[in-house]
Structure 1
Amino acid sequence: MKFDTVVLGGGIVGVSVAIHLQKRGLAVALVDRKAPGNESSSGNSGLIQRDAVPYAFPRDFGTLVRYACNRSLDVHYHVSAMPKLLPFLYRYWHYSRADRYSVIARSYSTLIEHCVNEHRALIEASGAQALLRTGGWMKVFRSAVKQDADLLKAKRYNADYGIAFEALDAAQLRRAEPSLGHALIGALRYTEADSISDPHALVTAYANYFEQLGGRVFIGDASTLEPQWSVNTEAGRIDARSAVIALGAWADIVSKRLGYRLPLAVKRGYHMHYAAKDGARLNQPVVDTEIGYLITPMARGIRLTTGVELAAADSPATPVQLDAIEPIARDAFPLGARLDKQPWLGMRPSTPDMLPIIGPAKRHKDLWFAFGHAHHGLTLGPVTGRLLAEMMVGTDTIADPFPFRVDRF
């Protein structure tokens, strides 16, 4: 079986890359160990976050002490993982200094500004309109101090990056979300974001659209990739003129075999679905920013997602954050019974400078990378797919790819 390109990875990024290459006249094979959308792309918050900025490493002493004590609800770490993670965390801290972060955030914004439009185009083409929820999301507050600080930050982001928002007092918050608890005193509502009621169904719809365009989906083992370029699948060996590694948290398994030592780490996270009690309704994603969790209406129920767990990617699940946050979330919104047998665990593939890796590999001809999107893989999938496809076929690009080059490390 011969193709122009083989794309390794069936998450939102890989599927989006495959679509954009197929649309540009290439014969594309999409390969993953599972059907598309069954790993990290299925378990996120469902936000297409037009207002997204990179999550910086904290640099103030008080926050660092709080995290070091490992009692924070928004960040939890495995002590056994720290020796391996410390070099990454040091570089993450280094890039988070205000002057460096400003440059990084400016580069990030060149992708973020297109995220909603690129998703909407694929949603329209794939017939997935029923999954789309417009109107933004809310960040809610429990204290005036935190609310005032975040309002100043929102005004700065509006000036720097054109991120639209509106501030809500307690009464306005009640009208927007009547079922939320009265401990919440106000909110910032980011109005230009979209959200998805079923991220897995969205990736599935995009994958079906890819096949309608003439692309082929295969179940296979990405770790068998060999230059120039072949990979084993259940249907037999695939040969291609070029290859794209879009494997998210598993990208370094393949890239290391090919001699690339990239500073990648995984931020783990959990979710659980709940019924809503007593006719309660949630209209949009809501982040309880002072505690560190998100609740959002999904097709399966109310999804509660946790913050960050720093651990080895293959270590057993330890959903201590979910267990600690659940009672607080129940006070904020009337959650009913758990709907899942066990918490879902996912991986956020991260780089220390908070930017994804998008572009050509430097040691191999016709090898391309598209991974490292951290918290915003769903948000950035389609614009990444378009950018990489434009680079591969040699046309003008939707954004400057230079900040995302692999050889910046």
Structure 2
Amino acid sequence: MSLAAEDRDVDVQDDHGEQPLPTTSRSEELPGPASPSGSEGTVETWSRSQMQVSGSSTHLSCVAICSLLVLLTIAGVAIAAYKMHAGDAVMALFKHSAAFMRLRGNATTTEDSSPLHDADSRYLVLHEKKVPSTRSSCQSDVCTWVENYLRGRIDTAINPCIDFYGHVCSSQWASQGLNLHSRVYRERTVGMMMMDIERFFRDYLSENEEPYHKYSGVFLHQAISLLPKCQSEEKDDKNLTSLRGLLEEYNLGNWPYKRAPRGSNIVAVSAFVDRDLGVFPFVRLFLQKPFEDDRMYTVHIDVPSLTLKRYNLAYPDEPPSNFTQKIALALSLLGKAQDVAEQSEAIAALETKLQHIMSAPRFVEFAERIKSIGQLDHKGKWKLESIPQHLVSRYRDV
């Protein structure tokens, strides 16, 4: 065996024995006569740099696999979020995040060329325009109306991060497109109108306080005096202090009566209530010409408008059971511990029967259509001729 062969055996043994390899990168020539073949006379060894190149390729493969797994995980989360939430926001976040990661390694980018410089503010997921959910958390028609009203006034074409006031305070706050015949809109409109009227009365009183106290019979001055008494000043007042103060002005301080006090006159009380409050509990008084060519008006007394009729006109979409519930609530204000369900049903039934009787069409002779007060039947304590006197007692000119 030649020396070259022995050296190869030694190298192989050293390799199996995990001894360190030579650090030189050149080939060592063996001493002795030159061999006819140059490949048999040299020993090729691996350098340290060659070993590092081999190790780095393995490391890059692991990094590539890990990066692929991370991207697959992000894609899975994005797809799941896209199905569960608004897809536009998630896709915008994914695109901007990918652009940010792609330009992240550029260390020479200036402040003006940063990855977020040209990016639109829509990358903010919290302020991204989302598709409105079809499910609502409202449990009442009032809440649903308010929710639709507010969402319909937001201008979704304007980004709130750029122009918040343009997004919220848009031109869509006009009353166009509103359901003006809905019960909720009517109730809210009445409430807002009452606030405007109260503000107007307050401003008027501050500028005309002397005429207000001097001329108490003016309609506007009566309205200013009446409005605060009709409003609920204290919601937690169980004694109804404001209401009882109003009743005392009409000699009804201890109402409701268990027994009518001596000297009480229901005709006078109803006339006072009619005159000052505009409520017609028993009769309706109005002026009308008997004939079109007459020059004089005649005072007419007719049947009043029932509470049931006024309720149906105010709430045409409400079922009759709601009217009974409103009566029960009114009776509960009297502080009675007994159940008011039976009484409220009886009152509602009476109102219904009276409404049918009053609205039933019937033919009446012309001579029977109009009767003078003296021709009416006087029963009980009713004195209908005194009603006009009480109504015009405060006024000289009628």
TM-score range, shorter chain: under 0.3
Specify the structure having the higher radius of gyration (Cα). 2
Q: TM-score, normalised by structure 2?
A: 0.19
TM-score norm. by structure 1 comes to 0.19
Q: Which has the higher strand share?
A: 1
